[in-house]
């Protein structure tokens, strides 16, 4: 069975800047190799500018690799892979003209795996009226609406880019519980963040990424045992400025 996410020699340049991959001894870019299996909650951890968002955008097909390949469930980024991925970007992508109910209808239209009942239920629990217009909603509420539609899909791979980056601690709690309670055991969740302490308890595996290269991949429990410290403490040590 194909891995949920697989990268081979993957590099991405923006102009001269190597955003993903590392410079080899001969000056040529060395791409990253990475395999993420199904049924895991994986933390993609690294400081700002380390290549987390670039890797996620490559998986979604929003940008194309400079070299190497990336496959999702065995598919190169395209229509088939997009059916498998539920993506939460770090920014708000909602259209101003929509009401919340329009967004629900939009997801129902385009994704066969969208569970409308689940979405409406979560909206009700958060006291968000589906009739509300999206434009005047606060940033935090927009982020919650976005998370609700993303997590209401029964996708194979959830790519969550900084899902708790810009929200208050109470909202973080909601987001993490939403992720956990909507998590299908056959699915994989890749969470990119630098707020390790908040997400550590939900993670099965971690990928440390720095300056475009993969520093380390490990099971969280094994890592804690081997290092004798939390992932958060280890992160602070590894990425100390």
Partner 1 sequence: MLGKLLRNELKATGRLFLILYALLALMTGFYKVSRLLPTRFVVTQSIMVAVSTALYVVIVVGVVAMSFVIMVQRFYKNLLGDEGYLMHTLPVTAGQHILAKLMVSLLWNVLSFALVLLSVALLAANPADWGRQWAYIVSLIEPLAQEAGFNYATLLLYAAIWLFVVAVDKTLLCYASLSLGQWKASKNKLGAAIGFAALLYMLEQVVPLLILRVVEYARPGWIIQAQAPAQGIVRFMFWWSVCASAVCAAVYACVSNRALKKHLNLA
Nearer to partner 1 by Cβ, of 79 and 241: the residue is 79
Name the token pair of 88.
């939460």
CB of 166 to partner 1, least distance (A): 14
Q: Which residues contact 22 (CB under 8 A, 6 or more apart)?
A: 29, 30, 32, 211, 212, 213
Stretch that binds partner 1, among 56-64, 68-76, 193-201, 224-232 (CB under 8 A): 56-64
Nearer to partner 1 by Cβ, of 155 and 199: the residue is 155
CB of 147 to partner 1, least distance (A): 13
Name the token pair of 145.
């609406």
Nearer to partner 1 by Cβ, of 108 and 194: the residue is 108
Q: Which of 34, 45, 87, 100 binds partner 1 (CB under 8 A)?
A: 87
- Decide: is 93 part of the binding site for partner 1 (CB under 8 A): yes
Burial of 176 (0-12, 13-18, 19+ CB in 10 A): middle
Ranges assigned E (strand) in 130-171: 157-161
Nearer to partner 1 by Cβ, of 111 and 239: the residue is 111
Nearer to partner 1 by Cβ, of 91 and 127: the residue is 91
- Decide: is 74 part of the binding site for partner 1 (CB under 8 A): no
Interatomic CA distance for residues 142 and 78, integer angstroms: 27
Q: Are strands 205-210 and 41-45 parallel, antiparallel or unpaired?
A: parallel
DSSP-derived 3-state class of residue 123: helix
Binding footprint of partner 1 on the chain (CB under 8 A): 14-15, 57, 60-64, 79-80, 82-83, 85, 87, 89, 91-95, 97, 102, 106, 109-111
């Amino acid at each position: 069975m194909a891995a949920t996410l697989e990268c081979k020699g993957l590099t991405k340049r923006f102009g001269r800047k190597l955003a993903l991959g590392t410079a080899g001894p001969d000056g040529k870019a060395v791409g990253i190799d990475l395999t993420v299996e199904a049924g895991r909650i994986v933390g993609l951890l690294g400081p700002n500018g380390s290549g987390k968002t670039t890797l996620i955008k490559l998986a979604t097909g929003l940008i194309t690799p400079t070299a190497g390949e990336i496959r999702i469930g065995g598919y190169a980024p395209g229509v088939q892979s997009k059916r498998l991925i539920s993506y939460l970007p770090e920014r708000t992508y909602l259209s101003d003209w929509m009401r919340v109910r329009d967004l629900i209808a939009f997801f129902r239209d385009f994704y066969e795996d969208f569970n409308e009942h689940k979405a409406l239920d979560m909206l009700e629990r958060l006291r968000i009226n589906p009739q509300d217009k999206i434009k005047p909603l606060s940033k935090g509420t927009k982020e919650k609406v976005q998370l609700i539609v993303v997590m209401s899909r029964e996708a194979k791979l959830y790519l969550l880019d900084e899902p708790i980056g810009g929200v208050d601690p109470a909202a973080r709690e909601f987001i993490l519980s939403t992720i956990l309670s909507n998590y299908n055991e056959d699915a994989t969740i890749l969470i990119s963040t630098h707020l390790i302490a908040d997400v550590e308890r939900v993670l099965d595996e971690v990928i440390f990424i720095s300056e475009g290269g993969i520093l380390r991949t490990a099971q969280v429990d094994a890592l804690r045992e081997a290092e004798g410290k939390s992932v958060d403490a280890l992160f602070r040590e590894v990425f100390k400025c």
